[in-house]
A and B are shown apart, each in its own frame.
Chain A
Amino acid sequence: MPLIRRTWTAAEADKWTREDWFVIVLSPICYFALTLGVALSFLLIWEGFAITAVSIVLVVWMHWIIDPKLKAISEEYEKNQQEYLRELEDAVRWKQHEQAAP
C-alpha cells in the first residue's frame, strides 16, 4: 500500500486518515514559511528566497496529497445535501422532521 493514497471511494474518503494528518502538519508549516520567506525575500536576504522556494514546493505537495480525497468527499456529500437542508429548515421552523430511512 502506498504511503499517500490518491484513489478514494466516497465512504473511505469520509474517514480521517493519514493523508489528513499529513496536511494538518504541512499546512501551518507552509503558512509560517511563506510569511517568513516573503518578508526576507523583500529585503533581498538569500535565506528568504530559499524558504519561499521550499514552501511553494510544500504547498504543491500538500494539494497533491489532499485534493483527490476532497473531491471524493465533495461528490458524495452533494448527493445528500438536499435531504440535510430539508432537515435544517424543519429545525429552524420548529418542525419535527420525519426520520428518513437510512
Chain B
Amino acid sequence: MNVLFTWLDWLWVGAFLLLMIGSGVLFYRLGKRSQSDFFLAGRGLPWWLPASSVYATHTATDTPMWITGVIYKYGLAGIWYTFFSAWAAISAFVSTRIFRRSLAYTQAEWNVVRFTGLGAEMLRGWMAGWQVFMNMFVLGWVGIAMGKVCAFLFGWPLWVGLVSFSSGCAIYVLAAGYWGVVMADFQQGVIAFLVIMIVSIWGIMVAGGPTGIVEKLIILGETDRMNPFAFTGWWTGEFPAAWFVTMMVIAILGGFGMGTSIDWYPEAQRIQSARTVRDSTYSIWWGTLVGLVRNSVWAIAILGFFVLFPGMTETSEYEMGWFRLGFDYLPVGMVGFFFAAILAIHLSTISSHLNLGALYATRDLYQHYWNPEASERTLVWVGRWSTLILLLGSFVYGLMMENITEWLIFALWIMTAGIWLPNILQVVWWRFNAWGYLSAWIANLGFSWLVVWVLPEFGVIPDLADYQQFWLLMLLGACVFIPTTFLTKPESMDHLVKYYVQARPLGWWGPVRREAERRGLIQEDSPKPPKVV
C-alpha cells in the first residue's frame, strides 16, 4: 500500500518535526549544566511532566501493532495482555516512594544503596551492562517498526525509516539530554493521545458506530469478542483463565518490587526526575492510567477493524489494522497529520531510550568504574558520546532484527519470569542479600533455557503454556536463591540501617527498624518509658 501525500500532508509532517527538534534544542543550556540536568532534569519536575513522558515513552510505533494483534486474535479479552503496565498501581505508592527516597540515578545504582560489598558491585556492573544492551535493542526494535511503517506507506527501503527519524530525534537528545526528552515528550504525548482518540473514534464510526459493531459481531457469530472474560477454558487453549490470573498476579503484585516489568527501568528515571516523593507517585500513577485508557479505546477501534475485515489469518496482515483505519479512511489533508502523530509516538520512545541507555553507560559504567573524579562537564560529554554510540548500535540491531527477534523475546522472558519474586524480595525483605539476588539471575538464565527450549526439544518435558513456564521458573529459581540467601551472610547492619532510615521500605524489616530505633535514628512505634537504674 502506497499512500499519496498532498502538500498539506507534508506541511503537517515538516511543521511537527521542526516543533519537536526545535523545542528539544531550546533546552540546550539547561541540559549541559550537570550530569543531574542531562539525565534527570535536575530532579525538579512537577508530576505532570514525567507523567506525560511515562505515557509518551510507552506509546511506541509497534504498540498499536501489538495491541491490534491481541485484540484481533482474542477479542476484547485480549485487553488483559495490555494490562501488564498495571504494575504501576501498587508501585506508585510503594516501590516508587522507596526508590525516589533512595535518590539512586538508576536501578543499577540502587543495588549499591540497598546491598553492599562485592556482591552489590557485581550486581551494579551486570545490570548496567544489561541495560545498555537492552536500550540499544529496544531502539533497534522500535526503529525497525518505523522502517516497516514507512515501507508500508511509501515503499521506502526498511533502513530509510529506521535511520532518518531516529537520527532526527538524536539531535535534541544530544543537545539537551533529559530536558529535551521530557519537554518534547510532553508535546508528543498530547499530540499522540489526541490523534489516537481521533483516529480510533473515526475508525469506530466507519465500522458503523458502537451499535453497528455490536450488530455486525452478532451477525458474524462472534459475540464472544465483546466479552472481556471470554477465555478458552480454565487451563487449556490459547488464552486460558489461568494465564489471565497469572498476568494479573505478575502485574499487580509486581508493584511491590522494582524491576518486575521491563518498563520499570525508564520509569525509574522519571521517578527520580520528579521534584518530590508526591510528584513521583502521581507521575507514575497518572501516566500509566492514561496509557490504560488509551488501550481501551484502541481495543474498540480494533473490534471495528475486525467487523470491516473479518477472517484475516496472517499476523503481519491484521497487526497493521489500526494504521489502516487511519490511512484508508481519514480525509485528504488529515493523513499527514496522522503520520505526524505516528512520528510523535516514535520520537518519544526513541529519545527516552537513547537518554536512558546513555545514563547507565555514563553513571554506572564510566563514572563509577572508570573515572570517578570526572567533572560535570566531562560527564555531560560522555553522556553525549554514549547517546551517539547507542544510536549507531541501534541501526545495526534494527537491521538484524528479523533474525534475532526470537532470541530477544526469550531474553525479555528471562528478565521477567524467574526473577519476578527476587525483584520483590529485594524491596520487602531485609534478609535478602546481594548473593541471593545474583544467584537468582544466574539460575534463571539456565532454567529459562532449559524449560523454554532445551527440555521440550528433547522430549523430556512437554511444551508448556506461558503460565506454566512462569510458575515453574519461579519455583525452580526459589530453590536456588532462598538457600543461597540463608547460606551467605546478611548485609552489614550499618548499611541496612542507613538504607532503612533513608528509604523507609515496606515489609519485613523488623530487625533493621529496631536497630535504627535503638540508635535513635528514627522515632519508635510505641515509645517506652526510660529505664530507671
Contacts and interface: CB of A to CB of B under 8 A. Distances in A.
Interface string B435-479: 000000000000000000000000000000000000000000000
B293 A38 contact: yes
Contact of A35 (B97, B104, B295): B295
Given A20-B93, A32-B86, A43-B210, A38 B363 contact: no
Interface in A18-39: 20, 23-24, 27-28, 30-32, 34-36, 38-39
Contact of B292 (A11, A35, A78, A88): A35
B93 A92 contact: no
A30 B88 CA distance: 12
B300 A28 contact: no
A74 B204 contact: no
A35 B83 contact: yes
Q: Which of B211, B252, B373 has the most CB of A within 10 A?
A: B252
Contact of B228 (A36, A71, A80, A92): A36
A43 B226 contact: yes
Range, interface on chain B: 35 or more
Given A39-B76, A44-B210, A27 B90 contact: yes
Contact of A38 (B210, B279, B296): B296
B297 interface: yes
A18 B424 CA distance: 21
Interface string B60-94: 00000000000000001001000100101110111
A70 B252 contact: no
B430 to A, nearest CB: 14
Interface size class of A (residues with CB under 8 A): 35 or more
Q: Is the interface of A mostly helix, strand, loop or mixed?
A: helix
B185 interface: no
A15 B519 CA distance: 17
Given A39-B76, A43-B300, A31 B103 contact: no
Contacts of A73: 97, 277-278
B324 interface: no
A91 B504 CA distance: 20
Nearest to A91: B112
Interface string A63-98: 000110011011101101100110010011110000
A28 B86 contact: yes
Nearest to A14: B504
A2 interface: no
Nearest to A9: B523
B246 interface: no
A43 B208 CA distance: 11
B296 A39 contact: yes
Contact of A27 (B89, B204, B522): B89
A23 B292 CA distance: 19
B520 interface: yes
Contact of A66 (B93, B101, B211): B93
A34 B289 contact: yes
Contact of A74 (B113, B276, B372, B525): B276
B318 interface: no
B70 to A, nearest CB: 13
Contacts of A94: 372
B506 A16 contact: yes
Contact of A28 (B76, B252, B299): B252
A84 B502 contact: yes
A93 B372 contact: yes
Contacts of A16: 504, 506
* From A31, A67, A85, residue with most partner B Cβ within 10 Å: A31
Interface of B: 76, 79, 83, 86, 88-90, 92-94, 97, 101, 103-104, 109, 112-113, 204, 210-211, 213-214, 226, 228, 252, 255, 276-279, 281, 285, 288-289, 292-293, 295-297, 299-300, 303, 363, 367-368, 372-373, 502, 504, 506, 519-523, 525
29 contacts: A11-B523, A20-B506, A27-B90, A27-B92, A27-B285, A28-B252, A30-B289, A31-B88, A31-B89, A31-B292, A34-B289, A34-B293, A35-B83, A36-B228, A39-B228, A39-B300, A42-B297, A43-B210, A43-B303, A70-B281, A74-B278, A75-B276, A77-B277, A88-B104, A88-B113, A92-B363, A93-B372, A94-B372, A102-B519
Q: Kindly list the 8 A-B residue pairs having the minimum CB-CB distance in the complex, ordered from nearest.
A: A74-B276, A38-B296, A39-B296, A70-B278, A42-B300, A28-B89, A44-B210, A93-B372
